[in-house]
Structure 1
Amino acid sequence: MPEPRFPLVAVDLYGTGIHPQSWRRPDSRAEDLFTAGYWTGLLGQADSAGVDLAFLGDSFAIATTGHADQRGHLDAVAIAARAVAATDRIGLVPTVTVTHTEPFHVSKAIASLDHASLGRAGWQVDVSAGQTQANLFGRKDAQDAESLWAEAADAIEVVSLLWDSWEDDAEIRDAATGRFVDRDKLHYIDFEGTHFTVKGPSITPRSPQGQSLVVIGARDEHSTRIAAAHADVIRIGASGVDVARQRAAQVRTAAEEAGRDPGSIRILLDVEVVIAESADAAEHDLAQLENWSGSRYEPESVLYRGAAPGLARLITDVTAGDVDGVTLRPLTVPSGLDAITEHVLPLLRSGDPKQGSGLLRDRLGLGRPAHHFAGQD
């Protein structure tokens, strides 16, 4: 298994940028937002530059006023599936919320993406809070954060078991006997939990990675607990470098307390970015966004405003300890992605930007998980 190349660099691509007024910039390409070409172009660009992971946000919330909310968006899994043919290395990690989505459907969608991408898929787990989103489905009322993430933990376990419900060599394709599948190597998962009762097996064979990456943002005590117990990649927020290192150490301790090897997870710090030729130019760009919104921008994590060399130094500094990499979150896309790929990554990468193609798990140094049912009668 190849050694991971640190620091890991991910990008968070959501609409025209995470600032709610980003669409008003003349270079936002907002008119293309609901076209395939917009997304394949961005993801192909990130792939060619050597970005390790692309997170594709998704939510059932519309017409609200938060950082990453917009009035409409395409399905993240569908975007990732469309981008498979336009990329050959980057990890494609769509968000699929679990509160109003059946885990059987999630398992099939992400496994299919892993097959199509030849082992480059991940799943960013999230929940759907609030009565407004609950009303879209009409099946249950809003839940509190503890209940939402307890349900998410059940969903992750179901999905993981379904991914393993086919053994690696279950497909025998024996033309002589007419047997395509060895039925002894397909397994009922027989999961019975508080929120789901799922018999299985999946209808999708075990994927190239065995288990696609599970990514969770550790935003509060509830999501942090579930991330420490289940996630391969954990996203954290912090107000600065020192706080980020402390937060990463806390997350690794929580993983160890959950019975996991703390070295078996990858921790990425969210860094919100406004990149320009100078700090003054970046401040001007941010001021324009704030003027449109009529309010001061309040970042959810570290906010970097300045030129590319300073951001490269920040990334190198923050990843000197327990933090494995960063998730760069441009306030404005596609201009922010242009700056990341053309000016920031060349300062962090040497040699071939696509070094280490192949299975996403291998490239992150995570390896292939053991099969849950193998060897069982």
Structure 2
Amino acid sequence: MSDTPFAVAVELDADGAHPATSTSSRALSPRVLSALVASAERLGFTAATFDDAPLPVGGATPRLDAVQRAAFVAPLTTAIGLIPVAHVAFSEPFHVATQLASLDWASNGRAGWIAAASGTGREAAAYGREALEDADLRRERDEVIEVARRLWDSWEDDAVIRDVATGRYLDADKLHYVDFEGANFSVKGPLITPRPPQGQLVVASEAGSAGVDVALVAGADVEAITDAAAGARAAGTALVWAEVEVALDSRGVSAERRLDTLGAWPESGRLRHVGDASGLVDRVTELSRVVDGVRLLPAEPDVDLEEAGRAVLPGLRERIGFRSPRPGDSLRDALGLERPLSRYAAPATVKEFA
């Protein structure tokens, strides 16, 4: 674990992890979004994640697409990673890959992707499709990840030449044809966007997903997370992050009292910390022995984000050597992941991206 930088990502969906914090005005507010992300970057979090769902939760609350939210804050930030959720079951894989590549360009190489798959009857009906069983959803997610990776590689790093003398923008020999046939879709041709700055975006998904860089594991206690992390590593996943819901004592008010005011917080199967910052430092330090990072899901982002940055991150710097990302670093740099070569490039012609 010591050779891999420990990551502390924070979920910045404006609604918060507690259902009582959901309001349509906050979910649609660019001011709220930019303020949260600016605060997370100032405090030193490794990355911000942005949750999403195929349809509005509860059917009434409007929201903005997570990739759009990440793209909006990309030019407003310089160091923090930006990792939106993008669902794959009923989306066009080519469009998903293109949007994510564009996000990596907009953020100068700080983009990631949480690949999610949900296919309930209600969601399927909205897209004019049939509901998908769990096995079909897993296969669809894995196939979309695979075709996205092929599309990101379909341009070699030096395909764009901008040769004024000959009037050529790109070297057509360095574009590669992707011909992918999945169970429910097919994709042909190269991407319409040059290869992302990172070469391949950092892809995260739940444990058991194929082709991901980060496995997100959930469990109600450390023992369950330890078992899930071991399974993810055995499957060959490079990094493992634990998901932790958080409500912290803040501004003289205990977390328990805050939750009494908010009302019931339904169980989600994730580890949950309700209490002071030092207790969360202890919990994350314990987790650092079995995972490479955590994704914190604050009950109330306005409150818990500031408290975690003020009191938890400094403790983790002391206890486990946590390091904040630096301006100009890619997300891969921050996570200790190498930038991969395009699978289509001949080794002798590969050049370092600049």
TM-score by length of 2: 0.91
The 5 A counterparts of 1:72-87 are: 72-87=62-77
User: Which residue, 112, 120, 145 being the options, matches 2:102?
Assistant: 112
CA–CA distance in 2 between the matches of 1:191 and 1:32? 40
How far 1:353 sits from its partner (Å)?
4.1
Deviation by residue 1:148-199 (Cα, 9 ceiling, x = unmatched): 1111111111111110110001011111111110000001111122222211
Q: Quote the Cα distance in structure 1 between the aligned partners of 2:214 and 2:144.
A: 17
Q: 1:235 to 1:177 in 2, by over 3 A?
A: same
Shift of the 161–63 alpha-carbon distance from structure 1 to 2, 3 Å rule, reads: closer
Measure, in 2, the Cα distance between the counterparts of 1:54 and 1:60: 20
**What secondary structure does 1:326 align onto?**
strand
Deviation, structure 1 residue 110? 0.5
For 2:19, give the aligned amino acid: P
Per-residue CA deviation, residues 63-89 of structure 1 (Å, 9 max, x unaligned), is 43xxxx972211111110110122111
How has the CA–CA distance of structure 1 residues 76 and 237 changed in structure 2, closer, same or farther, with 3 Å as cutoff? same
What are the residue-to-residue correspondences of 1:309-348 with 2, within 5 Å? Answer: 309-321=278-290, 323-348=291-316
Change (3 A) 1:278 1:304: farther
Identify the residue that residue 350 of structure 2 maps to in structure 1.
Answer: none
Identify which of 209, 224, 228 aligns with 2:198.
Answer: 209
Q: Which of 243, 258, 283 is the matching residue for 1:270?
A: 243
Number of the residue aligned with 2:227:
246
Query: How many Å separate the matches in 1 of 2:265 and 2:69?
Result: 32
1:48-69 Cα deviation digits (max 9, x unpaired): 11111111011123243xxxx9
What is the rounded CA distance, in whole Å, between the counterparts of 1:144 and 1:167 in structure 2? 37
Q: Which residue of 2 aligns with 1:297?
A: 266
Amino acid at match of 2:38: G
* Distance in 2 (alpha carbons) for counterparts of 1:353 and 1:162: 31
Residue in structure 2 matching 1:372, options 338, 343, 346: 343
Where 1:95 maps in the other structure, the secondary structure is: strand
> Which residue of structure 2 aligns with residue 141 of structure 1?
130
What residue is the counterpart of 2:256 in the other structure?
283
SS of aligned partner of 2:254: helix
Query: 129-138 or 166-175: which moved more?
Result: 129-138
Which residue does 1:38 correspond to in 2?
Answer: 32
Using a 3 Å threshold, how does the CA distance of structure 1 residues 279 and 231 change in structure 2: closer, same or farther?
farther
CA RMSD of aligned residues (A): 2.3
Q: Distance in 1 between matches of 2:282 and 2:120?
A: 39
Cα pair 2:109 2:331 within 8 Å, conserved? yes
Check whether the contact 1:91–1:121 (CA below 8 A) recurs between aligned residues. Answer: yes
1:189-236, Cα deviation, whole Å (9 max, x unpaired): 111222222111111000110000111023xxxxx2xx2x31101110
Structure 2 residue runs without a partner (length 5+): 348-354
- Give me the identity figure in percent: 39
Provide the C-alpha distance between the structure 2 equivalents of 1:251 and 1:305, rounded to a whole number of angstroms. 27
Q: Shift of residue 296 of structure 1?
A: 5.7
Structure 1 pair 206/143, CA: closer, same or farther in 2 (3 Å)? same
Distance 1:375 1:352, change over 3 A: closer
Aligned residues: 343
Of 186, 203, 217, which aligns to 1:197?
186
CA separation of 1:297 and 1:199: change in aligned 2, threshold 3 A: closer
Which stretch of structure 1 is more off in the superposition, 106-115 or 235-244?
A: 235-244
Q: Output aligned runs, 1:214-253, within 5 Å.
A: 214-218=203-207, 224=208, 227=209, 229-253=210-234
Q: Cα 1:70–1:284, aligned 2, differ >3 Å: closer, same or farther?
A: farther
- Residue type of the alignment partner of 2:64: L
Name the SS of the counterpart of 1:334 in structure 2: helix
8 Å contact from structure 2 (residues 12, 50) kept in 1? yes
Read off the aligned partner of 1:233 and give its amino acid letter.
V
Query: CA–CA distance in 1 between the matches of 2:98 and 2:108?
Result: 15
Counterpart contact for 1:15–1:73, Cα < 8 Å: no
For 2:137 and 2:27, locate their aligned partners in 1 and report how far apart those are by CA, in whole Å.
30
2:14 counterpart residue number = 15
Residues 223-259 of structure 1 deviation map (CA, whole Å, 9 limit, x = unaligned):
x2xx2x311011101121222122111111122xxxx
State the Cα distance separating 1:14 from its structure 2 match.
Answer: 2.1
Aligned residue for 1:230, secondary structure, equals: coil
Structure 1, unaligned runs of 5 or more: 25-29, 219-223, 256-261
Find the aligned partners of 1:91 and 1:353 in 2 and give their Cα distance.
11
Match for residue 128 of structure 1 among 118, 122, 126? 118
Amino acid in structure 2 at the alignment position of 1:5: P
Q: Give the letter for the 1:201 counterpart.
A: P
Post-superposition CA distance 1:234-289 (Å, at most 9, x none): 1101121222122111111122xxxxxx5xx1111111011014998111112222
Are residues 1:55 and 2:52 paired?
no
1:83-132 CA-partner distances (Å, limit 9, x unpaired): 01221111101111111111110111000010111100011111122111
How much has 1:357 moved relative to structure 2? Answer: 4.5
Contact 2:177 2:190 in 1 (8 A): yes
